[in-house]
Amino acid sequence: MAGYIIKRIAAMVPTLLLTSFLIFIIIELPPGDYFESYLAELRASGELIDSAKIEFLRTEYGFDKPFLHRYWLWLTGMLHGDFGYSFEHERPVSELIGSRLFFTILLSFLTIIFTWIVAFPIAIYSATHKYSWGDYGLTFLGLLGIATPNFLLALVMMYAANVVFGVSIGGLMDPQFIGQPMSVEKFLSIGAHLVIPVIVIGTAGTAAMIRRIRANLLDELNKQYVVTARAKGVPPFRGLVKYPLRMSLNFFIADIGGILPAVISGAEVIAIVLSLETTGPLLIRALKTQDMYLAGSFLMLLAVLTVIGVLISDLLLAVLDPRIRLEGKALK
């Protein structure tokens, strides 16, 4: 097992290296750099230009060096915890993203929990009541969840929550709590504000998960050992829970790897629409102003988060399912 974990972690390294290179290419693609647009802006507004400072920043961050060299600087910097410097906010990137990243992780985590709680009973119901009206209705509802653009769902639900429950619109907490130390009220306020994003981000993933678990559970229920158990007089509920359900549970865990990128994607868009203080709005702003280190480090951190999430799901799967082969090659 330990060998498997080490191997799995070692396999992450090339993946992350490739990811970082890809991201660096993307943030380098736009012509010009932040300083050019910044200088143009200053000139247009007729402000004084502190060219010494800009030259200093340019050299400090290696804008005069060739592409690969800059990539190397960025990469090694990140390994030391130096994620670069946000030119727009004039602060190191790591200072900017700390708390925001925490909320992104919290949001993604809660969303996955929500997905599980909702998908699990519905999938079991759908599989055990195959082709019933309830099954059709739930399947259709799930498809509707996939088809509705989540940003619009977020807007409408935000409005509904405001009218029905009096939750203030947008943000992660009621305005009076911003900057306050953590208290019970603040905690509750954050909780109330997280409900909508979690539901909205979760809908699409939940629907997809229900479909997969339903299919898996149906496969399992058609196997002969289930028939044998029924024939021997095992009560239906026990006959369902004892083995078929446990077998399909594996897909629950394995699915994290599949839905995590989608959850993080969704979290970014929803955060922009609902102006949550997560990474989303900061990222889009950084992308628009070519604040490249901020944007690049963000993308990189999101990728790392996803890769770690997938790793955790793989490890859990290996623990839960003894049939998963840790060694050897995949079957052809």
Partner 1 sequence: MTDQPRQQSDGQWHYVSDAPFDPYEEPAISAGQERYYMASQWRLMWWRFCDHRVAVVSAIFLAAIYFVALFAEFFAPYDLNERNPRAIYHPPQGIHLFHEGTFVGPFVYGRDYALNMETLKREYTVNRDIVHQLHFFCRGTPYRLFGVIDAERRLFCGAETAKIYLAGTDRLGRDMLSRIIHGARISLTIGLFGVAFSMLLGIAIGGMAGYFGGWVDYAVQRIIEVLQSIPTIPLWLALAAIMPVTWSPIAVYFAITIILGLLDWTGLARAVRSKLLALREEEFVMAAQLQGASPRRIISYHLIPNFMSHLIASATIAIPGMILGETALSFLGLGLRPPITSWGVLLNEAQNISAVVLYPWLMLPVVPVVLVILAFNFMGDGMRDAADPYSET
The footprint of partner 1 (CB under 8 A) covers 14-15, 18-19, 22-23, 26-27, 29-31, 143-144, 146-149, 151-152, 155-156, 158-159, 169, 261-262, 264-266, 268-269, 272-273, 283-284, 287-288, 295, 298-299, 302-303, 306-307, 310, 332
Residue 303 Cβ vs partner 1, minimum distance, rounded to whole Å: 5
Q: Which residues of 137-156 are buried (b: 16+ CB within 10 A; e: fewer)?
A: ebbeebeebeeeebeebbbe
Cβ nearer to partner 1, comparing 134 with 170: 170
Helix axes 150-165, 246-274, angle to 10 degrees: 80
DSSP code string of 91-143: EEHHHHHHHHHHHHHHHHHHHHHHHHHHHHHHHHHHHHTTTSHHHHHHHHHHH
DSSP code string of 148-170: S-HHHHHHHHHHHHHHHH-PPSS
The answer for residues whose C-beta is within 8 angstroms of residue 38's C-beta and 6 or more apart is 54, 87
Which structure tokens are listed for 25?
Answer: 């290419």
CB 86 within 8 A of CB 293: yes
Cβ nearer to partner 1, comparing 27 with 253: 27
Cβ nearer to partner 1, comparing 54 with 146: 146
Measure CA 27 to chain center: 20
Residue 151 Cβ vs partner 1, minimum distance, rounded to whole Å: 6
Coil, strand or helix at 314: helix
Cβ nearer to partner 1, comparing 194 with 207: 207
Cβ nearer to partner 1, comparing 138 with 240: 138
Cβ nearer to partner 1, comparing 3 with 31: 31
Nearest to 84 by CA among 162, 20, 22, 32: 20
Cβ nearer to partner 1, comparing 53 with 332: 332
Residue 327 Cβ vs partner 1, minimum distance, rounded to whole Å: 18
Our CA angle for 192, 193, 198, nearest 5°, is 100
Coil, strand or helix at 85: strand
